[in-house]
Amino acid sequence: MKIIKKSKELSDEVAFLKRNGSSIGFVPTMGALHNGHLSLIEYSNSDNDITIVSIFVNPTQFNDKGDYNKYPRILKNDLEKLKNVKCDILFTPLENEMYPTKDKRDFNFGNLDKVMEGEHRPGHFRGVALIVSKFFEIINPDRTYFGEKDFQQFTIIKHLTKLLNLNIEVISCPILREDDGLAMSSRNMLLTQEQRANVSLISKTLFEAQENVKYMSVSETKDWVVDTINKNPFLEVEYFEIVDEIKLEPISNWSDKKEKIGCIAVHVGAIRLIDNIRFYS
C-alpha cells in the first residue's frame, strides 16, 4: 500500500496507472474504518485493477463544529485494518492541501439537498460535493463506491457527476450491520455502553415497519416508527421520511409505483445516527 499526502503526487500516480491500462476504483472515507468501509474496498477490488482509498475528515460538511471536533481520528487503527484488504493507494491529505483557499463554489441539486439531511444539516451536502468533486478532479476514477446507509448522499453524488459531466460510475453498496442490526458507522464507537445497548431499537423498528405495510398506511407507519423509537429514553427521532429513491419526494400511498425508501436520523445523546430501509408493497 502506497500512502500519498499530496494531490499532485496522486494525480501523477493515477496518470501513470491509466497510461498502463489500469482501471481505477475510489472509496472516499473520513477514517475510523469499520467493516462497512472494508466491504466497499472489496467491491472496488472486484471491479477494478487499482483501488484508491481516501481518509480525510472534511470540515466543510460539518454544520456543527462540535461534531467535527469529536469525529474519531484513529489513523493508526485504520492502517491496521487496511492490511486486511487490498488497498493499493491511501490518500491522507491535510486540510490545507484540499482547501489551500476558501472554496466558494455552489451546486444546484434541486430538491435533493433540501430534504431530510439537507433540512436538518444546512450546508452539509454542499460540503460533501466540494470535497468529492476535488477528489474526482485529482483521481478521475472509473468507479466510486458509497455505502447505502448514506442513501441521500449517494443520490446527490450521482447527480454531482451529471452536473460536472463526469464519466464516473457511482456504485452503492449494501448496508453492513452489527449482529444486533445496528448499521455500521464510525460514530458507533462514540456511544457509551448504555447507549449502545439501546440503539438496536432503531433497526429493529425499521424492520418491523417493513412488515407492517400490510396493516398500516404510509402516515400510520411513519407515526408508529417515530413513537416506538421515542418511547426509549435514550433515543430521539430527528426525522423519519418515506420517499421515492430517485427524487427523494415523499410517498403518500403504498400503491405508488415508485421504489420506496424510509430514511431516519436519531439522536442518541450528543451522537446522531442515520439508517434506512426499503419498503415493498
Domain CATH code at residue 148: 3.40.50.620
Clarify whether residues 37 and 152 are in a common domain. Answer: yes
CB atoms within 10 A of CB 45: 17
Clarify whether residues 197 and 108 are in a common domain. Answer: no
Instruction: Please write the tens of the pLDDT for every residue from 4-53.
Output: 999 999 999 999 999 999 999 999 999 999 999 999 999 999 999 999 99
Clarify whether residues 141 and 190 are in a common domain. Answer: no
Residue 137, phi then psi, degrees to nearest 5: -65, -40
Total count of residues recorded for the chain: 281
Clarify whether residues 155 and 269 are in a common domain. Answer: no
Per the CB < 8 A criterion, the answer to whether 81 and 217 are in contact is: no
Clarify whether residues 136 and 91 are in a common domain. Answer: yes
Per the CB < 8 A criterion, the answer to whether 104 and 17 are in contact is: no
Domain limit, last residue, from 118, 138, 173: 173
Clarify whether residues 16 and 122 are in a common domain. Answer: yes
Clarify whether residues 156 and 238 are in a common domain. Answer: no
Instruction: Please write the tens of the pLDDT for every residue from 153-186.
Output: 999 999 999 999 999 999 999 999 999 999 999 9
Q: Which of 34, 37, 120, 124 is flagged as catalytic?
A: 37
Domain residues for the domain of 81 are 2-173
Q: Domain total for the chain? A: 2
Clarify whether residues 99 and 227 are in a common domain. Answer: no
Task: Check residue 52 and give its pLDDT.
Answer: 98
CB atoms within 10 A of CB 233: 7
Clarify whether residues 13 and 68 are in a common domain. Answer: yes
Supply the pTM of this predicted model.
Answer: 0.96
- Report yes or no on 179 lying in a domain: no
Q: Is 37 noted as a catalytic residue in this protein?
A: yes
- Report yes or no on 281 lying in a domain: no
Clarify whether residues 152 and 25 are in a common domain. Answer: yes
Instruction: Please write the tens of the pLDDT for every residue from 256-271.
Output: 999 999 999 999 999 9
CATH number at residue 222: 3.30.1300.10
Clarify whether residues 219 and 272 are in a common domain. Answer: yes
Clarify whether residues 11 and 56 are in a common domain. Answer: yes
Task: Check residue 63 and give its pLDDT.
Answer: 86
Is residue 64's pLDDT more than 90? no
Q: Which residues pair with 4 in a beta bridge?
A: 91
Which CA distances in Å does 141 have to 8, 129, 172, 223? 15, 16, 15, 42
